[in-house]
Amino acid sequence: MIVDSTALTEQAVRDILISSFQSAGQRCSALRMLYVQEEARDRLLNMLYGAMDALTIGDPWNTDTDVSPVIDTDAQTEISDYVAAQEKAGKVLKKLPAPETGTFVTPAVIDVGGIEDLEREIFGPVLHVATFKARDIDKVVDDINGKGYGLTFGLHTRIDDRVQQIVERIHVGNVYVNRNQIGAIVGSQPFGGEGLSGTGPKAGGPLYVNRFRRTAEAEHVEAPEGKAVSLSDLQTALDELDARNWAVRPNRIEVLRKALSGKGGVIRKALAETAALDMTPQTLPGPTGESNRLAMYPKGVVLCLGPTLDIAIAQAAQALGTGCAAVVVAPGAEQAVKPLIDAGVPVAGLEGSVSAETLSEVKGIAAVAAAGNSDWTRELRIALAKRDGAIIPLETQTISPDRYVVERHLCIDTTAAGGNASLLATAE
């Protein structure tokens, strides 16, 4: 969560408290890392400490309890040892006494330089706090993205432009503005992350139920023929692609249909299915004073491996149609993608195939498309699983354009300006 100097309010403190300590911090969406603008740090922390002193730690059957026990003794020991180590290092800013009986852990606030100081998630009532300068807010967001996790993110600000600036930059599945960041409600806030926090689709979102359907596998499941492309050639092709302008073009399908004119079969079907995928942002229902918005975004650069040329082009058509860039690797790929390149489409073609070893090392891919269920796709899946960093999905369905998008939900408490609606429109 990021809190700037315009959002120094009791509501912000309450939302920090709820997000960090409710359910003893044992929620996947709980607040672990808080960034506070330096001008607001001292006052906000003083308010937070006072609010923490009012917390009731005890029996979860008691309706007055704010912080309950953690799940078991192993969790209790791990969290308590971590807090003790941080206290020894002089990093604990505030902690509360915990009951002596039961698997309770003391709620604690720990001082850190930034999210890069967090080596692992502490799944309990532990809040880490860092300070930032206003001019460095983009760097803060980049540091958060760089950690690779992307489930929930909170923002407290009264500047509309800042909301837009951060929402467009942050790579997380659920963003909460001027409210707490836990307790997603199905139907209002479809829930799910990206990167190391999941590959989608969102629970409760429009793409969710379709994943439970049985679909036909590709007829061609044998490994593609051709000499394996080198890691350097593949990396160069990936690095040279830039889909930023392509992603915002409203006529992507029209451009693809013209460039692939005359193609039938699986390519034509891929274009038709992609054209039918509605990527229009959706306004979802919610209580009065809350805005809920679900949008789809291109997943990133997709590596299309076929195994046949037609299937590889069909995979690329779906990826490109949703705004992604694509690298097609298959016999005949270089000539096949030339009409697309001439049309200004962010695509590259390489002759041959991609080995599992190369797949485990190449950088800059968001997904790999390889149709069917075979020993070949199994080797690719194992190679992807060995990679460090974000989870890279292997898309084995021949036609499934929704596999090339990420869903992001934005929830805004529109009443958070304290009754003064003009504050939400204040320019920085």
- What CATH number corresponds to the domain at position 370? 3.40.605.10
Residue 1 tokens read as 């969560």
Render pLDDT for 245-295 as a digit per residue (tens, 0 to 9): 999 999 999 999 999 999 999 999 999 999 999 999 999 999 999 999 999
Domain CATH for 70: 3.40.309.10
**Do 221 and 177 share a structural domain?**
no
Tens-digit pLDDT profile for residues 50-66? 999 999 999 999 999 99
Does residue 66 fall inside a structural domain?
Answer: yes
Q: Same structural domain for residues 19 and 114?
A: yes
Grade residue 419 by pLDDT with cuts at 50, 70 and 90.
very low
Task: Name the CA dihedral angle for 116, 117, 119, 124, rounded to a multiple of 10 degrees.
Answer: -110
Phi and psi torsions of 132, nearest 5°: -135, 155
Do 316 and 236 belong together in one domain? yes
Cβ burial of 231 (10 Å; 0-12, 13-18, 19+) is middle
Query: Tens digit of pLDDT for each residue in 306-331?
Result: 999 999 999 999 999 999 999 999 99
20 assigned to some structural domain: yes
Per-residue confidence (pLDDT) for residue 219, from 0 to 100: 55
DSSP string, 54-88: T--BS-TTSTT-SB---SSHHHHHHHHHHHHHHHH
In a domain, 192, yes or no: no
Helix axes 41-53, 10-21, angle to 10 degrees: 60
Identify the pLDDT of residue 216. 62
Q: Report residue 147's pLDDT band, with 50, 70 and 90 as the boundaries.
A: very high
Give the DSSP per-residue string, 101-170. SSS----EEEE-SSGGG--S---SSEEEEEEE-GGGHHHHHHHHHHT-EESEEEEE-SBHHHHHHHHHH-
Q: Are residues 106 and 171 in the same domain?
A: yes
pTM, to two decimals:
0.91
DSSP state letters, 389-425: SS---EE--SS-GGGGEEEEEEEEETTTTTT-GGGGG
Pairwise CA distance, residues 276 & 260, whole Å: 17
**Residues of the chain above pLDDT 90, percent:** 88
Give residue 200's pLDDT: 80
Q: Within this chain, do residues 179 and 317 fall inside the same structural domain, yes or no?
A: no
Residue 95 near residue 54 (C-beta atoms within 8 A): no
* pLDDT surpassing 50 at residue 332: yes
Q: Is residue 230 a part of any domain in this protein?
A: yes
64 and 124 housed in the same domain: yes
pLDDT of residue 422: 42
* Distance separating alpha carbons of residues 209 and 253, to the nearest angstrom: 25
- Same-domain pairing of 21 and 152: yes
Q: Which domain holds residue 56?
A: 2-183
Is residue 79 included in any domain, yes or no?
Answer: yes
Q: What is the pLDDT of residues 203-218, one digit of tens each?
A: 999 999 888 887 665 5
Q: How many domains does the chain have?
A: 2
Per-residue model confidence as pLDDT tens digits over 101-124: 999 999 999 999 999 999 999 999
Q: Are residues 179 and 248 in the same domain?
A: no
Residue 331, domain member (yes or no):
yes
Residue 146 lies in a domain: yes
Tell me, what's the pLDDT at 361? 95
Q: Do 225 and 336 belong together in one domain?
A: yes
Classify residue 426: in a domain, yes or no: no
